[in-house]
């Protein structure tokens, strides 16, 4: 005889859940409300128990799918954002009741930059679009929700600022992190996730398999110059297992930890920068050095070459460079 379903507490999600006919349902944080919702589900006709149509359940199902089919960083990215969204809505809210204003009010209440709010909106939209693709719902109720603008990425770190950061940094651990970012143009998440198993030192490169690549389409390859490969070789000897870039305590760097270190350098260089700014700067240096845009886009790991022209606006503000290119044109 099949065991009767019973609500259970999921510590990681801080909520009650129940699995009925193979489908997991979120029952909310309050135990009494959870019990009530459980009895309502059990009272529904059996043919209706196949798929839960609550927004929270759909988000949970999507996060589970991401965990199985996408990179660990991608899983954490969606999990953190959708968890925060789920906490902002009633646990029993149905997909048929979900409206764009639910998401809009959620992101409006976040004291974050516009580009970060865009990421939260994108996470919710993707979860609903996935549910539509999988046939859990007929259509996404927020398909037409407009996301906040991403903004322009125009911060370029000058060579003088880069040298000032190194001069003001006493520990080799942070110097390695900064130097690797400066010389490779790797995404911040890629740098922080780098392990010995990703290295292909005989070919002077880093290779992230498809499952760990941002878009999950092709392996991500990062080519290393002499400075970068020297750093990687040294760290591989120190940390043959686990993350390569770690702080003075041997703890892997996190985005927050790296940002805190950059914050301490504001007085030294006159402004706040981050690891992502080094990536933008790297692309800018390659373009100014005469490397064609398609090659730069490929080296940067862009799946769409047009991203370079849409998002990175550094060259559009360099009048001397643009004038020099015009003068090279045949008369």
Task: Quickly list DSSP for 63-121.
Answer: HHHHHHHS-HHHHHHHHHHHHHHHTTS-TT-BGGG--HHHHHHHHHT--S-HHHHHHHH
Average model confidence (pLDDT) across the chain: 84
Model-wide pTM > 0.75: no
Dist CA 27 CA 18 (whole Å): 7
Residue 2 has pLDDT above 50, yes or no: no
Sheet containing strand 199-200, strands side by side: 199-200, 205-208, 220-223
Q: Is 239 in contact with 196 (CB distance < 8 Å)?
A: yes
The confidence score (pLDDT) of residue 49 equals: 41
Residue 300 has pLDDT above 70, yes or no: yes
Residue 307 has pLDDT above 70, yes or no: no
Cα dihedral 143→148→149→150 (10° resolution): -90
Q: Residue 188: name the closest of 282, 84, 63, 75 by CA.
A: 282
Of all residues in the chain, what percent carry a pLDDT higher than 70?
Answer: 84
Mean pLDDT of 142-162: 81
Q: Is 253 in contact with 247 (CB distance < 8 Å)?
A: yes
Dist CA 292 CA 279 (whole Å): 17
List Cα–Cα distances, 20 to 46, 49, 60, in angstroms.
10, 7, 15
pLDDT-derived band at 48, boundaries 50, 70, 90:
very low
8-17, 199-208, 279-288, 300-309: the lowest-pLDDT one: 300-309
Helix axes 72-86, 114-134, angle to 10 degrees: 100
Q: Is 83 in contact with 13 (CB distance < 8 Å)?
A: yes
Dist CA 32 CA 314 (whole Å): 56
Dist CA 8 CA 77 (whole Å): 25
Q: Is 165 in contact with 269 (CB distance < 8 Å)?
A: yes
Domains of the chain in start order, with CATH, are 8-134 (no CATH), 159-328 (1.10.443.10)
Name the DSSP letter for residue 195. Answer: B
Residue 207 has pLDDT above 80, yes or no: yes
The confidence score (pLDDT) of residue 153 equals: 54
Mean pLDDT of 16-26: 75
């Amino acid at each position: 005889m099949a065991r009767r379903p019973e609500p259970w507490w999921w510590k990681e999600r801080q909520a009650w859940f129940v699995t009925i006919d193979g489908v997991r349902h979120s029952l909310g944080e309050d135990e009494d409300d959870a019990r009530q919702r459980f009895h309502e589900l059990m009272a529904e006709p059996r043919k209706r128990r196949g798929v839960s149509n609550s927004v929270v359940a759909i988000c949970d199902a999507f996060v589970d799918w991401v965990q199985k089919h996408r990179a660990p960083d991608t899983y954490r990215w969606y999990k953190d954002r959708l968890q925060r969204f789920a906490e902002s809505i009633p646990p029993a809210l149905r997909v048929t009741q979900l409206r764009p204003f639910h998401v809009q009010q959620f992101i409006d209440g976040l004291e974050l930059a516009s580009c970060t709010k865009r990421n939260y909106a994108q996470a919710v939209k993707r979860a609903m679009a996935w549910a539509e693709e999988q046939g859990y719902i007929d259509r996404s109720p927020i398909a037409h929700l407009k996301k906040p603008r991403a903004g322009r990425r125009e911060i370029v770190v000058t060579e003088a600022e880069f040298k000032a950061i190194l001069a003001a940094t006493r520990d080799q651990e942070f110097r390695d992190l900064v130097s690797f970012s400066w010389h490779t143009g790797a995404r911040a998440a890629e740098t922080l996730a780098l392990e010995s198993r990703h290295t292909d030192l005989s070919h002077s490169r880093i290779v992230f398999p498809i499952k760990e690549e941002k878009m999950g389409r092709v392996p991500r390859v990062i080519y290393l110059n002499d400075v970068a490969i020297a750093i990687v070789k040294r760290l591989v000897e120190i940390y043959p297992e686990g993350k390569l870039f770690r702080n003075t305590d041997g703890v892997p760097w996190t985005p927050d930890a790296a940002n805190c270190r950059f914050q301490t350098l504001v007085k030294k260089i006159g402004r706040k920068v981050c690891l992502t700014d080094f990536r933008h700067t790297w692309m800018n240096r390659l373009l100014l050095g005469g490397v064609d845009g398609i090659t730069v886009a490929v080296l940067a790991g862009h799946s769409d070459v047009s991203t370079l022209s849409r998002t990175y606006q550094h060259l559009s503000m360099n009048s001397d460079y643009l004038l020099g290119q015009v003068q090279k044109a045949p008369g």
